[in-house]
Homo-oligomer: A and B are copies of this chain.
Amino acid sequence: MSQPKFLSGDKAGIDEFLDRFDVFLFDCDGVLWSGDHMFEKVPETLEMLRSKGKRLVFVTNNSTKSRADYKKKFDKLGIPAEVDEVFGSSYSAAVYIARIINLPAPKNKVFVMGESGIEQELEAEGVPYIGGTDPALRRDIEPEDFTNIANGSLLDPNVGIVLSGLDFHMNYLKSAIGFQYVQRGAQYLATNIDSTLPMAHSFFPGAGASGAALEKAAGKTPLSFGKPSQAMMDAIEGKFKLNRSRTCMIGDRLNTDIQFGIDGKLGGTLAVLTGVSKKEDFLAEGAETVPSAYVNAISDLLG
């Protein structure tokens, strides 16, 4: 495998790299911002790319936010972006459920284990759902619940799919209900299965962790839509009609972002060192996931 090219400060190298692509898929957290802190000169960098006619797509695994929520975050930080440029794992899952699985009504309800981002995207695609942010499920399990879950009286017979995502309100009751639906044959999907969530300069349980109670009980891995799942790449390609060889994935995580680009046979990948992965991770002898190029920070693309 060839060594990744270090582009920071290499004006000619940057120009040559950018010329190879028409589309840039951007990971957001760790590339454009960290939590609520935007990195330096992000708007200028995106503006430069747009001025060169590049198409930008913001690809995020965070299922708690809908594309509309994400647009608000961009606005708040002063980063120009359109809703249609955002591609999140909740949207990806909703599109898959509505257009690919497309269960016949009324047996097409989704039991949501996650936050409102998932609900909004299902709603936008016209998919009926229960669970999610329903306050009735944000409580402790009671002794009678075990019987009522087991005998089905607490279940909706029209649920055909369980969709799990990052859930800050995860609890035993929802896991038990989700598990019961899966035992009864519901399809088991996840927006994404990231094990951790970078927050406040540390790590917190990610969507794969908050949904792990169901995954462990069910003894099977859900079909998931976040990076590096190629279900998400296929959905992005379908929506944006991109030419993979002229597309570059930019991200901070080797095992999600960069792997996503490599598995998707994109023309290139660019690692940014403002997030999780360190350059030692891909420069090391025998590194599994190696980007085409890397920069210290995204604004280094300004040259």
Residues in chain A within 8 A of chain B (CB atoms): 138, 140-141, 146-147, 149-151, 167-172, 175-176, 179-180, 183, 195-196, 199-206, 208-210, 212-217, 219
Residue from B150, B175, B209, B214 in contact with A175 in the complex, judged by beta carbons closer than 8 Å? B209
CB-CB nearest in chain B for A138: B140
Which chain B residues lie closer than 8 Å to A196 at the CB level? Answer: 217
Question: Are A213 and B170 within 8 A (Cβ)?
Answer: yes
Which chain B residues lie closer than 8 Å to A175 at the CB level? Answer: 170, 205, 209-210
What's the Cα separation between A213 and B201 when bound, in Å? 20
Question: Are A202 and B214 within 8 A (Cβ)?
Answer: no
Question: Are A169 and B195 within 8 A (Cβ)?
Answer: no
Oligomeric state, in copies: 2
Question: Are B205 and A176 within 8 A (Cβ)?
Answer: yes
Which chain B residues lie closer than 8 Å to A170 at the CB level? Answer: 170-172, 175, 213
Question: Are B140 and A168 within 8 A (Cβ)?
Answer: yes
Question: Are B201 and A179 within 8 A (Cβ)?
Answer: no
What's the Cα separation between A276 and B205 when bound, in Å? 32
What's the Cα separation between A302 and B203 when bound, in Å? 57
CB-CB nearest in chain B for A183: B203
Question: Are B205 and A172 within 8 A (Cβ)?
Answer: yes
CB-CB nearest in chain B for A142: B168
Q: List 6 A-B contacts (CB under 8 A).
A: A140-B168, A149-B202, A183-B202, A183-B203, A195-B216, A195-B219
Which chain B residues lie closer than 8 Å to A204 at the CB level? Answer: 146, 149, 176, 179, 217
Question: Are A168 and B179 within 8 A (Cβ)?
Answer: no
Which chain B residues lie closer than 8 Å to A171 at the CB level? Answer: 169-171
Q: How far in angstroms is the closest Cβ of chain B from A44?
A: 29
